[in-house]
Amino acid sequence: MPKKRVLVGMSGGVDSSVAAAILKEKGYDVVGVTMRFWGERNRCCSLEDVVDAQKVAAKLGIPHYVMHFEDEFKREVVDYFVDEYQLGRTPNPCVVCNPKIKFGILLEKARELGAEFIGTGHYAVINRPKMPDGRYRLSRGRERGKDQSYFLARLPQDKLRHILFPIGTFPKDKIRAMAHRFDLEIASKSESQEVCFIADGDVPAFVERQMGEQYPDGDIVDIEGNVLGRHRGIIGFTIGQRKGLGIALGKPAYVTAIDARKNQIIVGDDSGLYKRHFISLNAHWIGLDSLDAAMDVTIRIRYKHKPARGRISPMKDGSVEVEFDEVQRAITPGQLAVFYNGDEVLGSAWIDHILN
């Protein structure tokens, strides 16, 4: 019986390298691919990363290819990222990139190469169907501090059935140890952080380069509308931000809202950041066919957010009303709300506006 071919996305890092090694050890016909997303200096898919991935592939005795997705990444991810900031929202590019690029376009390439699966180094678990509904279920990775199910919550069933996450059931320390066991040079390589395509972390400068112009200045106001100072563009702010406001009030001040229509940054006390009720749009369901009635779930409102209990309710217009049992800090429009039943991802929806 011929081996099943799997195309493994290899970033040159520890996780994806070990994922490739595990799949090869399990008997798969492994083909390594490094995706190039962005031409500017960046934190991922650099030339150094490509070389590291090639070295790992050579060590494992598998073929390796470099695939260029710069145009697709610009259209699907970067343009979305820039547009969201201009709307006064805080985007989440990884959530968009995964279904459209990493598990979208790459899956098409995999099929062209005769591969049945895509494998990656994500810390998450896909449970194959055991129930009559034939549903593939996405769950949190074993190591909670590394769990990446949040970023994968927009994947549809037709993609989940072709994905393998071989490291999802292991803790990070075990993955490091396995990299040493496989004698991989990258075993001690550090991990990339922050937005991968902005090397210096300067989001406003990046957005303005993409816009081709400087974003207009505007007022910083308090919740009553009193002008407290000026900002250099709403693209430099996000909900909960304290540093870089450029105003002195004699007490800590935080961004509590962004009004793109008025080009205003609204600031207030930390207490003004605590809310429990919001509306989310464009729901996507993995563990359900649809949300037909209110449900008690666990909710994450950003990747680093500690999951909290709450209730989700369907609305007539297709949106989802979300209400936490207890107030949460800095619920942010533009971020993704992911809904869990225990460790299982039920679905997700984009945070649109917060209710008082």
> Which distant-in-sequence residues (6+ apart) come within 8 Å of 168 by Cβ?
122, 123, 124, 125, 126, 141, 142
At 177, the amino acid letter reads A
250: left (phi over 0), alpha (psi -120 to 50) or beta: left
Structure-token match 């037909």, residue found: 292
| 322, 300 contact by CB (below 8 A) | no
Q: Which of 44, 45, 94, 196 is catalytic?
A: 196
DSSP 189: P
Q: 132 to each of 147, 158, 268, how far by Cα in Å?
A: 28, 17, 52
Q: Which of 44, 45, 94, 97 is catalytic?
A: 97
> Which distant-in-sequence residues (6+ apart) come within 8 Å of 278 by Cβ?
321, 322, 331, 337, 351, 352, 353, 354, 355
Catalytic residue list contains 97: yes
| 16, 62 contact by CB (below 8 A) | no
Distance CA 104, CA 111 (A): 11
Strand order in the sheet with 5-9: 64-68, 29-36, 5-9, 117-119, 163-164
Catalytic residue list contains 44: no
Distance CA 57, CA 10 (A): 9
Distance CA 214, CA 203 (A): 13
Mind telling me the catalytic residues? 97, 196
